[in-house]
Structure formats: structure tokens, C-alpha cells
Amino acid sequence: MSAPRKLHIKSYGCQMNVYDAQRMVDTLAHEGFVETASVDDADLVILNTCHIREKASEKVYSELGRLRVAKDEAARHDRRMDVVVAGCVAQAEGAEIIRRAPVVDVVVGPQSYHNLPQLLARAKRDGRALDTEFPIEDKFAALPQPKPAAIRARGVSAFVTVQEGCDKFCTFCVVPYTRGTEVSRPVARIVEDVKRLTDNGVREITLIGQNVNAYHGEGPDGQPWPLGKLLHHLAAIPGIARLRYSTSHPRDVDDTLIEAHRDLPALMPFVHLPVQSGSDRILAAMNRKHTAAEYRRVIDRFRAVRPDIAFSSDFIVGFPGETEQDFAATLALVAQIGYAGAYSFKYSARPGTPAADMQEMVATATMDERLARLQELIDSQQHAFNQAAIGTTVDVLFERAARNPGQIVGRTAYLQPAHVMAPDDIIGQVLPVTLSSLERYSLLGTLATSPATIHAPATAPALTGA
């Protein structure tokens, strides 16, 4: 048998890219590739790129510069190294990458990476290959399944794509162009994926999609099912301890989703609900299709059924035309809502989006200053949120051995890392932990259950809502 070929994959950007990278690894495992952590001994290097902001795509070209050196070195030793650019930069700038970067052998978009084996063969034959089509056939149907050993190696928490693409067309955003229009996967396919994962030790599933609560996949009854109904269905699968979903649009929060938060203990009370701005004028210019008051009402609907729910969000500062008054409205909204954490970004004009043609650019220095003020407010809220956990006893899903010998690390319902001293057979279990201190972003605590009784309560609470 020939030695396995080595694959090095580097992913940028969102959770969907992390998921796509795993599916590329699964696809290539069937072609005899094994993953390697080092670029230098790789036979195949894949950059799974992100186009959401300027800096993200700049990184690709600087990485390609480094790969040219590694590829030349391999050639000196008579070894072929294929370089693939995948992901959203590939989709948006495929032809330009081929022109600008001779080091690249294959360019493949996010909707066609199931064709990687054929594209690699084509590159070997013809020199280069490019595929940025949005194929009619279902990418998911064409993708080979992960091997059980690969699922186990990835740990107790896994992503499952339930929908892809977006029809919202926020004026700043490239996603509708790079990922395409909104497509939801059928319920039966998602259930198969989830069962395969839980059969192999996965306890927590995060349903992912660019606009996950626009989900409307076909149910077993032939009708489109909303996300809340899908969550109810998945919560009944044995082995599921925790369900999450990301990312949501405030406009698509329907009653089924609120009811799922009311009825399902397995559905974690932590929701990422981007708002981008607190100014109605800017929200309109962004084409977000809601006001700040409507966003607050959505938050209130969640809080009415789950008082312990916490939120995170995304913000853009310096959108074209943003005045000091608009920015003050963003700070006021953040102060009112009170977040467990949030991401904030400086506006970056993306080619081909409507906002890129807007005048009244905000000066870079002003953006820097607003970003710092917003981040300071968010950091203080996050710190207060984490601090408030000290002294409480909460459920933790244990994930892996920590760096400190003897310590196991898991996550609370709010994704806060929590460390305890314990034997490693608690990995994969949900156990109560009394939290005693906070070190930067990590909580430290002790198990609130004696090891003898560990096994019984581990799965039971999460399944009761089914």
C-alpha cells in the first residue's frame, strides 16, 4: 500500500467555514489523505477563506506568498504540493486569484467543494482548475460521510449545517453573493447527520446557517418546518444533551422558536442575535428591515419565556453616514439590553455590495475611536456577566483535558469555559459545578456531584423536554 498523502487545511472566518473544512477533510479521507499540522510536509494545502471584511481576504494573499516558498521547496525535493483556495474569497475572486497567484492549482467555491477529488485530478492533467458554480445537485447529498473515528476525534460538540445562503441583502454584506440564495436542508437529512454524531459520542449540536432561523426545510409530512419545530424534533434524539443555533436574524424570530426556548431544556439559553446598530436611520440604510425598538421587543419575547436567557450580538461602527448621534443610539441600545458578549467591527466596503457605492465615508480615526468606546462597554458587560456566575452552581458539559494536569475543561450554558479537577471519564457528561473564581475569561470551580453519582444525572435533565 502507498503511504497516505498529507493534507493541511487552514480555515478563516465563521463556523460554517469550520464545518466546511471538516467536510473537505472527510471527502479527501476517502481519497487516502490524512491531516497534518505542518504545511511543509503537506502534499495538499487548502486555504478555506473568508470574504466578510477586507482584512480577511488580505490574509489570503499574504498566506499564498508563504505557500509559494513551501511549494518551491517541495519541488526541489521532487515532491508535488497542490494549493487549493476554497471558501468565500474563492467564490468572489476566483478568476483574479488564478491570474494573480500562479502558486494556486485549484479554486473551489463553497457550493462545489464536493468536487475536490475531480478538480485535483483536473489540475494535475491541465495545470489549473476552477469551480465556482452553484450546482443544482445537492452538495450535501454528494459529500461522503465522516468516518466514526473522525467524529470521535472532533469531540463532544459538533456543528450541523441546516441552511445555507441568505436572501436578506443587508447593504454591507457579501454573503448573499458568496454563499448564494437561502436553501434549507430537509429535516430527514439533518436527523440522519445528528444521529450519526450522537451515535459516536457527540452530546452538543449547534445548528448552523447564515440565517439559521429562516430555516424552512421539508419535514417528514412534506410541509416546510420552521426552526422551532426542527429543534423540538432533534431534542428527542437519544444522547442529545444540548442544542444551539447560529446565526439568527431578528426579523425571522417566530413563535415556534420562542416556544422551543420555553419548552426544551436542551435548548441552551444563549442566543447570538446580531443587531449591527442602534440607530433607526442606519438600520434602514443597512436594509436590516427592523428598528431598534422592534429588536428590543424580540429580546423581550425571549426573556418572557426564559428569564435566564443571555444574548450576544454583532455591531458595525462607521457605516457610511453614521453620525455621533447614530453611534450614541448604538451605545444606548447596548446599555439597555445588557449583553453577555458581542463582536464589533469597523465597517469595511465590500466590492459589489450597495453600501460600497454610498458616499459619506466615516473617517478611519472616527471609526477607531467609536470601536474602542463600544468595545469598552461590551467588555465591561461581559466581565460583569462572567463575574455574576461566581458562587453559583451550573451545569457544565465537559469537553477535554485542560492544559493544567488533572484539570478537565467544559462549557456552561453560556459557552463560558469552566475548569475543574476531575478524572477524565467525566468528558462527555453534563455535571453541576460550583463556580468559585474567574481567571480572565475562564471560570474555575468544583464538581457539585460526588463521582459515585456522576452517571445518573448526566443525561437525564437534557432529555426531559422531548
278 close to 334: Cβ distance less than 8 angstroms = yes
For 244, 382, 418, the CA distances from 443, given in Å and listed in that order, are 21, 13, 5
3-state secondary structure 179-211: CCCCEECCHHHHHHHHHHHHHCCCCEEEEECCC
The reply on whether position 169 binds ligand SF4 by CB under 6 A is yes
How many residues interact with ligand SF4 (rule CB under 6 A)?
10
Please select the residue that binds ligand 5AD; options are 215, 345, 398, 414, rule is CB under 6 A. 345
Backbone angles phi, psi at 159, to 5 degrees: -95, 145
Please list every residue from 269 through 308 that binds ligand 5AD, using CB under 6 A.
274, 276
Q: Is 220 exposed, middle or buried (0-12, 13-18, 19+ CB in 10 A)?
A: exposed
With CB cut-offs between 5 and 8 Å by kind, which of ligand 5AD, ligand SF4, none does residue 194 bind? none
Site string for ligand SF4, 233-272 (x = CB under 6 A): ----------------x-----------------------
Please select the residue that binds ligand SF4; options are 10, 59, 68, 168, rule is CB under 6 A. 168
How many residues interact with ligand 5AD (rule CB under 6 A)?
12
Please select the residue that binds ligand 5AD; options are 56, 60, 129, 173, rule is CB under 6 A. 173
Place of cell 448604538: 330
- To 5 degrees, how large is the angle CA 45–CA 50–CA 52? 170
With CB cut-offs between 5 and 8 Å by kind, which of ligand SF4, ligand 5AD, none does residue 166 bind? ligand SF4
The reply on whether position 343 binds ligand SF4 by CB under 6 A is no
Please select the residue that binds ligand 5AD; options are 314, 366, 442, 461, rule is CB under 6 A. 314
Nearer to ligand SF4, 305 or 358 (CB): 358
With CB cut-offs between 5 and 8 Å by kind, which of ligand SF4, ligand 5AD, none does residue 70 bind? none
Q: Which residues of 225-241 are buried (b: 16+ CB within 10 A; e: fewer)?
A: bbbbbbbbbbbebebbb
From 18-26, 109-117, 128-136, 343-351, give the range in contact with ligand 5AD by CB under 6 A.
343-351
Nearer to ligand 5AD, 27 or 57 (CB): 57
139: DSSP letter: H
The reply on whether position 159 binds ligand 5AD by CB under 6 A is no
For 115, 220, 233, 354, the CA distances from 283, given in Å and listed in that order, are 39, 38, 35, 14
Site string for ligand SF4, 173-192 (x = CB under 6 A): x-xx----------------
247: cis peptide before it, omega within 30°?
A: yes
Which amino acid is located at 242 in the chain? R
Please select the residue that binds ligand 5AD; options are 33, 113, 159, 172, rule is CB under 6 A. 172
With CB cut-offs between 5 and 8 Å by kind, which of ligand SF4, ligand 5AD, none does residue 212 bind? none
Cell numbers standing for residue 336: 439597555
Q: Is the dihedral of CA 338, 343, 348, 353 positive or negative?
A: negative
**Footprint of ligand 5AD (CB under 6 A):** 52-53, 172-173, 274, 276, 314, 316, 345, 347-348, 350
Binding site for ligand SF4 (CB under 6 A): 166, 168-170, 173, 175-176, 210-211, 249
